[in-house]
Homo-oligomer: A and B are copies of this chain.
Amino acid sequence: MIKRKLEAIDYLSRNDVEKIHQASLGILEKNGIEFYSAEARDILKKGGARVEGEKVFFSPQLVMEQLSLAPSEFTLHARNSNNNLTIGGDYTVTAPGYGSPYVMDFDGNTRRNATYDDYITFTKLAGHSENIDVVGGVLVEPNDVEDKLRHAKMFQAAVTYTDKCLMGSAMGEKKARETVEMASIVYGGMDKIRDNPVLISLINTNSPLEFDARMLDALMVYARNRQPVIIAALAMTGTTSPVTLAGSLVQQCAEILSGIVFAQMVNPGTPVAFGSASSIVDLRTGNLAIGSPESVQMFSVIAQMARFYKIPSRGGGALTDAILIDNQSGYESMMVLMNTVLSGTNFILHSAGLLENYMTMSFEKFVCDDEMLGMVKAYMQGFQVNDETLAVDPLLSVGSGGNFIAHEHTFTHMKDTRLPMVSARVNYAGVKEMVDTPKRANDYYRDVIESYKAPKLDEKIENELDRYISNLS
């Protein structure tokens, strides 16, 4: 976890935040949101919303009342309690890339379908990382696993190879329920996990202004079992949302708020996060531009709106539009990541591995992003200013024109600074071969996988989980 000491960036003025808020309330009242689930609409109607066909209308008062039921901060529990996480407040936690169907092979830069083996490899990289807090979910799409077992095999890999916090499956009622049941096996029973949530799941809106049944059904399972859900918009400006950033944010807020209200009606107090994976679209080409400054601005404001609503936020990541691990993938990923952290985002999904916006995962990019996360974390940690570190005595003893290399103070503190994982600190004259950082990341990831040791999982649990999964149909 990163604990933020700096003030979060408030990208907009309070007045502009208020304008977006009011416009969103207007959309919720006048256009409403389509909920493609009769069960969901029943709950919404009972909760006080007006329902017409598949459309649900919310009064401002209803929105604000329900919103106040959601906690501003909550704990997510891991198999190893040292890895428990606080979601909200001054904390930022990170999860790797999510949902990519493809993997980029380093040799030859060729893209291929992701497999379950890839899923396990990324899980180990995440398990090894000092900077990644959450695993599981669709870390990468295991295309070679039959659909009905995918969520179960992903869950199994996540709990077998790591003891970090987990994401759940949002693919309908059955898979969500089975994920909760598996969690109950691993974490000591249903009561235990209801009291100590262990799964955080990603519920996407369907922009503009809709929720599909699959997401709503999963949301209901998690909310009833008191597992946190991230309600997130993935709007694309000029196509699935207005082209202006302000307009897109109005729509995103309306969608997210309606999801949060719904979660509270399912089970008051359900932990939620206010999220976005939205992007501008480059209207010359029709491609996403998720590494653009405009997308960064939207992520900043999403975190600010979440603070306004006193709900934890989700956004950002190490995002890039580059299809290769090149200079661009570095500058875009760092810009998005750094600003997401500085803007006080509480949950950063997509924080390692992605290329080509959300389409492709790369082992080498994962390692480079892990490096970036370590750099950002070190930046956010600050440094000590006290008599010892102010070094007045060493300064007076070394004096003008001297050298500190042999001073005791240097020996005492030379390990205070972070060492890089793969970044080069060399000079041209001193190198025999020009090796770039992705190549070093390739070596690094192979070493990690070769020597990876999974944290022990109780054999009885392991067997029970195996049995449960083999009985799935």
A interface with B by C-beta (< 8 Å):
6-7, 9-12, 16, 19-20, 23, 26-27, 30-34, 55, 102, 109, 111, 206, 208-210, 237-248, 250-251, 280, 282-285, 287-289, 291-294, 296-297, 321-335, 338-339, 342, 356, 359-360, 365, 368, 371-372, 375-376, 378-379, 382-386, 388-392, 394-396, 398-405, 407, 409-410, 413-414, 416-420, 422-428, 431, 434, 436-438
Contacts and interface: CB of A to CB of B under 8 A. Distances in A.
A284 to B, nearest CB: 7
16 contacts: A9-B342, A23-B390, A23-B392, A208-B399, A208-B402, A209-B395, A245-B383, A246-B384, A250-B392, A289-B425, A292-B375, A292-B418, A328-B423, A330-B331, A330-B334, A335-B376
B243 A410 contact: yes
Contacts of A288: 425
B247 A360 contact: no
A416 B244 contact: yes
A232 to B, nearest CB: 17
A385 B16 contact: yes
Nearest to A32: B400
B379 A339 contact: yes
Given A208-B398, A208-B401, A243 B322 contact: no
Contact of A385 (B6, B12, B283, B375): B12
A402 B242 CA distance: 11
Contact of A423 (B9, B321, B414, B423): B321
A430 to B, nearest CB: 8
A438 B238 CA distance: 30
Contact of A428 (B359, B428, B436): B359
B32 A243 contact: no
Contact of A391 (B244, B368, B414): B244
A409 B242 contact: yes
B404 A238 contact: yes
B437 A326 contact: yes
Contact of A330 (B247, B329, B339, B402): B329
A248 B324 CA distance: 39
Q: Which 9 A-B pairs have the closest CB atoms?
A: A330-B330, A247-B391, A242-B391, A330-B331, A326-B436, A328-B437, A293-B378, A246-B389, A209-B400
Contacts of A389: 244-247
Contacts of A240: 403-404
B427 A327 contact: no
A422 to B, nearest CB: 8
Contacts of A6: 9-11
A427 B323 contact: yes
A406 to B, nearest CB: 10
Contact of A327 (B379, B386, B394, B438): B438
Contact of A400 (B33, B324, B368): B33
A335 to B, nearest CB: 5
A257 to B, nearest CB: 14
A413 B356 contact: no
B383 A246 contact: yes
A212 to B, nearest CB: 10
A59 to B, nearest CB: 17
A294 to B, nearest CB: 5
Contacts of A410: 238, 242-243, 283
A171 B321 CA distance: 44
Contact of A321 (B26, B55, B394, B425): B425
A35 to B, nearest CB: 10
Contacts of A342: 9, 342
B293 A395 contact: no
Nearest to A283: B414
A179 to B, nearest CB: 29
B328 A331 contact: no
A19 B34 CA distance: 58
Given A323-B434, A327-B437, A437-B326, A403 B247 contact: no
